[in-house]
Amino acid sequence: MPFSYSLLVLLVAGVLFVNGFTDAPNAITSAVCTGALRFGSAVLLAAACNTAGLLFSWRFAPMVQNTLLEMVDFTGAGSRAAMTAIAAAMAAVVLFSVGAWAFGIPTSESHALIAALTGAAAALGGSRAVSRAAWGKVLAGLLLSSAGGLAAGFFMGRLLRRWNNTSGFRSPVRGLQILTAGGLSALHGAQDGLKFVAILVMADGLRMGGRLPEGVDLSGSAAAVLLCAAVMAAGTLAGGKRIIDAVGRRMVRLDACSGTASDLAACLLLFAATAWGFPASTTHTKTCAVLGTGLAGNRQEIGLRTLGGILFAWALTFPACGLLGFLAARLLAR
């Protein structure tokens, strides 16, 4: 196995591990903050459901992976240069994500990956190496996760609060929160795990002569799927209390009603994005849904300082990761 390919696999595993303890905790934020699940039990649930979601989407709904494969074209740069550029993009994602995690800010590894990969492709092939059609799906996913998450969280928060006030919401809420936490974790695996399977499939294609898989036949990527599932689960088991505290306690103080509403809203949107092949951010979707439920309840409890830090990091993700991927690829590929 060539050194550049081995290094790329290690870097993809590193990004997945980081994703497991920075992005995956968003799925269990509501259940932990409201006491429906203890942190340890919630992390085990998230790890298992992440794996199940990735395996299911790989087998039955691989559209997100195909969108990422279509987004960039490294075939004209040579196999070694292309794999070096992709490795540079993975390194950029790790640096940015770990830096944000240190401040307890929930960034999107999905957007970091897309930006860094685009920057790396542009460094080798210019604008011709980036597909505008695939990027249209990325922007659609961004709109769905941010504006859609905010609107769906607000609507679901209002709906469940009315139900709570009229019929009482306390008895079934714990079971519902556990169910939605598991569903959201599975959708996180379906979205984020499949993106990194695409990177490994892309690297395999380049190693075999520069040709990438066509269509949705992913029967040869079972090893990549199992590797991604195992590493993401290990990262999730490493925990993510910083992210849970930032979203579910400092930005908006979640109760049983708002927590369940945000999970339901995020599940619906991520399911739609996965079915349509939009590379949506689970972090953006869940965080915006939490904010929407906060606006539907007591707006004075929204932590504006924490919210400002999160929005700043989100705005920085695309340009920072794109530039890091571009510069690292240009430097290392030469």
pLDDT tens sequence across 124-134: 888 888 998 88
DSSP string, 260-305: HHHHHHHHHHHHHHHHHT----HHHHHHHHHHHHHHHS-GGG--HH
Q: What's the whole-model pTM score?
A: 0.84
* Predicted pLDDT at 176: 83
Enumerate residues 6+ apart whose C-beta is below 8 A from 286: 26, 27, 29, 149, 184, 247, 262, 263, 266
* pLDDT at position 122 over 90: yes
Record the tokens describing residue 233, joined without a space.
């689960």
For residue 105, is pLDDT > 70? yes
101, pLDDT greater than 80:
no
- Strand ranges inside the chain, DSSP E: none
Q: Categorize the per-residue pLDDT at 280 as very low, low, confident or very high, splitting at 50, 70 and 90.
A: confident
- State how far the Cα of 63 lies from the Cα of 56, in Å rounded to an integer: 12
Task: Flag whether pLDDT at 3 surpasses 80.
Answer: no
* Range scoring the smallest mean pLDDT among 80-84, 90-94, 209-213, 320-324: 209-213
CA distance 107 to 286: 12
Average model confidence (pLDDT) across the chain: 82
Rg over alpha carbons for the chain, rounded to the nearest Å, is 19
pLDDT one-digit tens code per residue, 215-261: 444 555 778 888 888 898 888 887 677 777 777 677 777 888 888 88
Q: Identify whether the C-beta of residue 5 lies closer than 8 Å to the C-beta of residue 83.
A: yes
Q: Which range is least confidently modeled, 52-66, 186-200, 239-253, 301-315? A: 239-253
Percent of the chain with pLDDT over 70: 90
Among 64-78, 90-104, 151-165, 266-280, the range of highest mean pLDDT: 266-280
CB-CB neighbours of 95 under 10 Å: 17
Q: What are the structure tokens assigned to 99, written together? A: 């830096």
